[in-house]
A and B are shown apart, each in its own frame.
Chain A
Amino acid sequence: MRRISPSLGLGLLITIFLVGVALVSLAWTPYPPTRIDILHRLAGPSAAHWLGTDPFGRDVASMLMAGAHSTLAVALIAVAVGVGLGVPLGLSAASSGGWVDQLVMRIADLAFAFPALLTAVMITALAGPGAVNAMLAIGIFNIPVFARVARGAALAAREQDYVVAARAVGRSEAEVMLYHVLPNISAVLLVQMTIQFALAIVADAGLAYVGLGVQPPQPSWGRMLNDAQTYIFRAPLLAVFPGLAITLAVLGFNLLGDGLRDHFDPRMKER
């Protein structure tokens, strides 16, 4: 086992912390995150409310914890959609070659012409705002990403001796892909997953900010930022904490991705 690099260590630490907070929020938050307490609205940080309260008197720390859960859930499903559909597409493009390959890759090219966030806004606005549509709208754009990455890595892996050997002993193309190519490209895919996870967190927050993501009263970081903007003159701190949470989450997954890439393939290490 190679030594764990600082970026991998820090990335792991942040992501484990976030997942931990999200899990804990299912069982416990300092206050119920949706409990309105109008008498203590817009309170600053105190012993009773660590990060203060929002315009409805809801506890900001509790809302952030619950928001971690909803953000991670949206990002997880969005990435799963991309992996689940994109990787099989990329692998079949790589193994069949010819017009199938051309078709899949041209469709992927076409998908990249649509600014992802803009199209996600369009899809959620027209199909109806909400967590499920946000997951799908973000997930759709992960499909061509994973199709491209899986195809590229699979084409390189197919030339390796162990694949040639597997084919020589009579393994079918599907078996070769499933048992020999896929395990060997899993590191590349894992790194891409962390990158897409970070992007999905930003997209989720953006959608929620414009009111198209997770719907109230369910707390979300993006929605909290939007609510905070109205009170930016009276309670500026409200605009700071949710943004810090988003940044921390994105930073964590980016560091994890960088760290994993260097860990799996030291030759790729950024100079």
Chain B
Amino acid sequence: MARLLLTRFAALVATLLAASLVVFVVLDVLPGDPALLILGTGARPDTLAALRHQMGLDLPAWWRYLLWIGGILHGDWGVSATYGVPVGDLIAARALVSLPLAVLAIVLSTLLAIPMGVAAAARRGRALDVSLMSAAQIGVAVPNFWLGLLLILLFSVQLAWLPAGGFAGWDKGIGAALGSLLLPALALALPQAAILARVTRSAVLETLGQDYVRTALAKGLTGMAALWRHAVPNALIPVVTIIGMQFSFLLAGTVIIENVFTLPGLGRLIFQAIAQRDLVVVQDLVVLLAGSVIVVNFAVDLAYLWLDPRLTRGEG
């Protein structure tokens, strides 16, 4: 067990380093000189050279990479060229919007999807199953940013219940803050819930056909008890996998959805940083996002071991 965890952890660190190298190389190769962008094309060559020197752009690429990675490891994420503040502070402030948004979306999606999927599986082939799965088929196809617009149309334009965009801020109270996150979270959650409901349904159908469920029914458990106590827990592995994968979708989804609802989160930050060639911010953010995907995948792997003890015995 310990060896297994150690190998997985070594792979995790290697992947993180490789990911950071990819980000650095890609940003180094793509056109756009940050110094030129700050000064404009009319800048005098010596001013440009001085700024490039000040920003460390005249150093060899490998040295800049090592400086950057070393800084990250020491908690020094660099200074944003446009905002003039440490990137760490900038990210921390924006994460207070994006993380609750992503968590809210995952929670909403899971709460909707698992009952839907289990109900559809339990009523396989009946009207409930067919209508739930048809709804899911359509839900999968709806792009979340359009759903966001529709939610704005319904809840902000027609009913005027919730704001059409913007973020109230946590200092205005939890209710107001969550209120401004609710529509974007729903827009992110519904298409994901449709996917998750389909996965849950087929996973539960798989376990419902297993011998242990038949045994449970044979020894007198009611259908409901057999379903929730035996079929559903054993169907969780594929469901957890998909929830883990959805985390990555949600992170990427925030880039667009935060633009729809003008939320000051990580997605908009990365967007603005790209537009202004604030490369340190872009590098840090992409590594952070890729890093969290890698860490979540690692956590999903660990969750397997917990959900299915046979896996540890098999490999250990």
Which residues of A line the B interface, CB within 8 A?
Answer: 109-110, 112-119, 121-123, 125-128, 198, 202, 205-206, 209-210, 225, 228-229, 232-233, 236, 239-240, 242-243, 246-248, 250-251, 254-255, 270-271
Contacts and interface: CB of A to CB of B under 8 A. Distances in A.
Given A206-B145, A243-B150, A115 B249 contact: yes
Contacts of B141: 198, 247-248, 250-251, 254
Interface string B34-69: 000000000000000000000000000000000000
Contacts of B146: 205, 225, 239, 242-243, 246-247
B27 interface: yes
Contact of B274 (A113, A125, A255): A125
B153 A239 contact: yes
Given A113-B290, A243-B150, A210 B19 contact: no
B208 to A, nearest CB: 9
A52 B93 CA distance: 43
Contacts of B275: 125
B137 A117 contact: no
A250 B143 contact: yes
A113 B15 contact: yes
B236 interface: no
Interface of B: 15, 18-19, 22, 26-27, 30-32, 124, 137-138, 140-143, 145-146, 149-150, 152-153, 157, 164, 202, 205-206, 248-249, 251-253, 255-256, 259-260, 270-271, 274-275, 277, 282, 286, 289-290, 293-294, 297
A115 B293 CA distance: 8
6 contacts: A110-B15, A110-B18, A113-B293, A229-B149, A254-B140, A271-B206
Sorted nearest first, the 8 A-B pairs with minimum C-beta distance are A115-B252, A243-B146, A251-B141, A250-B141, A117-B252, A118-B252, A125-B274, A126-B30
A126 B27 contact: yes
A10 to B, nearest CB: 10
Given A113-B15, A254-B141, A255-B137, A271 B205 contact: yes
B294 A118 contact: no
B176 to A, nearest CB: 22
Nearest to A119: B286
Given A118-B289, A209-B256, A271-B205, 17 more contacts: A114-B289, A115-B290, A117-B252, A119-B286, A121-B271, A123-B30, A127-B30, A205-B145, A210-B271, A225-B145, A232-B152, A239-B146, A243-B142, A243-B143, A246-B146, A247-B146, A250-B142
